[in-house]
Amino acid sequence: MRNIYNDFTTPAQPVPEAPQGGSDEDVQNSNTDGDGSVTVNKNGNYIHCLTIIGQVEGHYTLPQNSKTTKYEHIIPRIVMVEENPDIKGLLLILNTVGGDIEAGLAIAELIAGMSKPTASLVLGGGHSIGVPLSVSAKKSFIVQSAAMTIHPIRLNGVVLGVPQTLDYFNKMEERVTRFVCANSNIKRKRFHELMKKTDELVLDMGTVLSGEEAVKEGIIDKVGNLSDALSDLCDQISSKEK
């Protein structure tokens, strides 16, 4: 049976020799998988690119007409990247509307705990649970045209109108807040202000930030594009190998 999580290390697909004397712009596609991930050769360094797209799926399967990211696919791949000595870094590319909180936090915690160089790039949107995912890398980038939505916790399905439900919401929000503030430069008070803002979204609470605003608030490190993120990863790899 084909193991899509570990194709990069199977004997049938050995790691090709790194090109000698390649330029910084020399990016070679070494392996592409069905889940949208790819391993590339950037100036002799193998970098694994992982995508978080659509909606982050939780413990319940979403409709087939929805673009989803499945945590049961992403988690083993992150472990593979961390344990594969040939892969030197991880590039996380996001265009997500959000999704399941616990699944998103599980992925974010794994990335934040990696010892290898990591960088994230927000394209289109890094909304809702996409915010913790965006800041989970050691260096985060966002393109100017992207946006990020920060809002309170939401729950689908039957909701009991009891005080314990609000307590549960507060605990879930605290988990998200603690992670974002620990992995970015935004202060807890300011993050809560953005989350509970009432004069920006119609029939909802929260804030929509542009790329430059996300950097100004301290959530994302820099406004940049793909080449910026790859260059930073190579710098991290070079520093780690010294």
Transcribe 25-65 into DSSP letters: T-EEEEEE-TTS-EEEEETTEEEEEEEEEEEEE-SSPPPTT
Check residue 19 and give its pLDDT: 43
Residues in Cβ contact with 158 at an 8 Å cutoff, skipping those fewer than 6 apart: none
Q: Which residues pair with 65 in a beta bridge?
A: none
Q: Which pLDDT score, from 0 to 100, does residue 25 have?
A: 41
pTM assigned to the model: 0.84
Neighbours of 193 (CB within 10 A): 13
Q: Is 73 a catalytic residue?
A: no
Q: What distances in angstroms separate CA 147 from CA 104, 143, 173, one per listed residue?
A: 18, 9, 21
- DSSP letter at 106? H
Query: How far, in Å, are 63, 99, 104, 127 from residue 69 at the CA level?
Result: 12, 9, 10, 14
pLDDT of residue 35: 67
User: Which amino acid, residue 175?
Assistant: R
**In contact, 152 and 144? CB cutoff 8 Å:** no
Q: Which of 48, 73, 127, 151 is catalytic?
A: 151
Q: How far apart are CA 121 and CA 37, in angstroms?
A: 14
pLDDT in tens, 126-169: 999 999 999 999 999 999 999 999 999 888 788 898 999 999 99
Homologous superfamily (CATH) for 7-241: 2-enoyl-CoA Hydratase; Chain A, domain 1 (3.90.226.10)
Asked if 128 is an active-site residue, the reply is yes
pLDDT for residue 242: 73
Question: For the chain, which residues score pLDDT lower than 70?
Answer: 1-35
- Decide if 217 contacts 209 (C-beta within 8 A): yes
| pLDDT for res 32 | 52
* Residue among 30, 37, 120, 128 flagged as catalytic: 128
Alpha helices in 54-206 (DSSP H): 71-83, 101-112, 130-135, 163-182, 188-195
Q: Which of 149, 150, 119, 160 is nearest to 137 (CA)?
A: 119
